[in-house]
Amino acid sequence: MSGQGAAPVVKKRFPTALLLTCAALGVAGALLLAPANWLSTLLSGPAPFASMAFSGLWILPSVIALRLLQRPFVGLLVGLIGGLVLIPFSGAGFSTVLTNVMWALPAELPFLVVLYRYWGTWMHYLGAVIIGVVYPITAWAWFNLGAMTVWAQVAFFAITIASCIGATALGILIADRLKAAGVGRRR
């Protein structure tokens, strides 16, 4: 025997089809976020509550990826790709990558905690609530929330959480429709 048997089958951790699907979702997300980013930034000073109504859009691409593909780290990968695509269209430069990854992480976090062994729908909503609470805290100074009344602060959090939950519901719907159309099927 010369040792020339069939090559061993190596299972790819990230098959090409998965990477291409993530790239398509990242680019589509960037196309959505480019105008939303400018509009949200313009509104953040004079109309911060209106700005927060758009906040859920940042998790939408990651939710779609996680629901559609049900694979570890696809939400973060889509956020990273979307951020890279946004660099030339954002006034923030490279920090837009960090922003996108920051928004993708809470969408991914509930699945990471269970080591990607459970993909329940409610876990997507848990990620939405996490970012809906964490983002206003991290952006407290930017929006000068300390100068607002307690009721305005509560409304700010509520709008952010509602936007994230709404975007998550939309992301689940889109992913389920894509899956029904045959997108994201494993072979």
Q: Give the pLDDT means over successive 10-residue stretches in the chain (187 positions).
A: 52 81 96 90 84 93 97 97 94 90 96 96 97 94 91 95 98 96 76
pLDDT of residue 151: 96
For the beta carbon of residue 147, count every other beta carbon within 10 angstroms: 8
Phi, psi dihedral angles at 3 (to 5 degrees):
80, 15
Torsion angle of the four alpha carbons 87, 24, 100, 57, in this order, in degrees rounded to the nearest 10: 110
Q: Where are the domains of the chain?
A: 16-180
Phi, psi dihedral angles at 14 (to 5 degrees):
-125, 90
Among the listed residues 73, 55, 26, the one whose alpha carbon sits nearest the alpha carbon of residue 138: 55
pLDDT of residue 48: 83
Among the listed residues 45, 50, 104, 103, the one whose alpha carbon sits nearest the alpha carbon of residue 72: 104
